[in-house]
Amino acid sequence: MTPILDVKGLTKTYRSNGRVVQALDDVSFSLAEGETLAIVGPSGSGKSTLSRAITRLVGVDSGAVQFAGQDWLALTSADLRRQRRQMQMVFQDPLEALNPRASVFSAISDPIRIHRLAPRSAWRAEVSALLDRVQLPTSLLDRAVHEVSGGQRQRVALARALACRPRLIVLDEAVSALDVSLRARIIDLLIDLQRQEKLSYLFVSHDLGVVKAMAHRTAVMETGRIVEIGPTLSVIDTPQSDMANALIAAVPRLHRGPSQ
C-alpha cells in the first residue's frame, strides 16, 4: 500500500539565549491510508514539534514530507492554503483552538465556506450531518462554543476537521483532557470514522493506555529522535528501548484482580 504520509529525515533545531535544542533529529516514518500511528514520549521529546512540522505550523531545518503524493514542504503558501484541508489537526484544548464566541454552526461551517465545499444553501444541512456523525444533537447549532461542555466542544473541533473532508487528522493530545467515560466514547467515534472514510491518524499522546486502544503502530520519541517504532502491541508487550520501558512502567494500572 502506498503511504498517505512519508516523512524523511526531519530535523529542527531551536536556539534561544545561546542554548541549542535539537527538537527533531533525523525523524523518518510513514503512515498508510486508514492507519493510526501513535507518537509517544515525555514532555520535551519533540512529539508536538513533529506534529507542528508536518502540519507546517513550524518550519524545519531539513528533511522531506510526502503527503497525498505531493512534496508537502515545498508547497507555496497559496498551494498550501488550497491543499491544507486534506490534513487537519485537533488539539488538546478546543477552547484555545476555536473562537469561543463563535456559534457551533459557524465553527463547523467556516471550512465549508472557505474551501467552497458546498453551496451556501447546503451549509446548514451539511453542518447538521457533521454534528450527527460526531453524535451531537443539532439543537447545539446556534449555541456559542464557550457554552457547550468540554466533551461537546472537542466533538465540535472534530466535526470542523471532518468538514474539510481530510485524509489525515493529526490528533495532538486530543482526548487527554476528557473525562474517562467520554474519552472511551470519543475513541470509539474516531475508530468508526476511520473505518468509514479510510482516514489516517497521527495520534500524539503521552497516554499509552489510549494508544493501545486505538493505534495500529507506535513510535516512541526521546530528545527529538524516534528510538523505537513498531506495531503497538509489540512495543507495549516487548519494548526494546529504555524510554518505551520507562513509559510503560509509569502508566497507572487498575489491578482489577484475576477475573480480568
Residues in contact with another protein by the rule CB under 8 A: 32, 34-36, 42-44, 150, 179-181, 183-184, 187-188, 191, 206-210, 212-217, 231-233, 236, 246-257, 260
| CB closer to another protein out of 98 and 210 | 210
- The whole-angstrom separation of Cα 162 and Cα 164 is 5
| CB closer to another protein out of 113 and 195 | 195
| CB closer to another protein out of 6 and 207 | 207
| CB closer to another protein out of 148 and 213 | 213
| CB closer to another protein out of 119 and 252 | 252
| CB closer to another protein out of 60 and 247 | 247
| CB closer to another protein out of 109 and 205 | 205
Task: Report the nearest approach of another protein to the CB of residue 127 (Å).
Answer: 26
What DSSP string runs through the chain?
Answer: --EEEEEEEEEEEEEETTEEEEEEEEEEEEEETT-EEEEE--TTSSHHHHHHHHTTSS--SEEEEEETTEEGGG--HHHHHHHGGGEEEE-S-HHHHS-TTSBHHHHHHHHHHHTT-S-GGGHHHHHHHHHHHTT--GGGTTSBGGGS-HHHHHHHHHHHHHHT--SEEEEESTTTTS-HHHHHHHHHHHHHHHHHHT-EEEEEES-HHHHHHH-SEEEEEETTEEEEEEEHHHHHHS--SHHHHHHHHHS------TT-
Determine the Cα angle at 39 with ends 35 and 42, to 5°: 165
Task: Report the nearest approach of another protein to the CB of residue 156 (Å).
Answer: 17
- The whole-angstrom separation of Cα 72 and Cα 27 is 16
Task: Report the nearest approach of another protein to the CB of residue 19 (Å).
Answer: 12
Task: Report the nearest approach of another protein to the CB of residue 184 (Å).
Answer: 4
Task: Report the nearest approach of another protein to the CB of residue 21 (Å).
Answer: 13
Q: Which residues of 156-168 are buried (b: 16+ CB within 10 A; e: fewer)?
A: bbbbbbbbbebbb
102: cell is 463563535
| CB closer to another protein out of 44 and 63 | 44
Task: Report the nearest approach of another protein to the CB of residue 231 (Å).
Answer: 8
Question: Which residue(s) pair with 6 in the sheet?
Answer: 30, 66
Task: Report the nearest approach of another protein to the CB of residue 122 (Å).
Answer: 33
Task: Report the nearest approach of another protein to the CB of residue 213 (Å).
Answer: 5
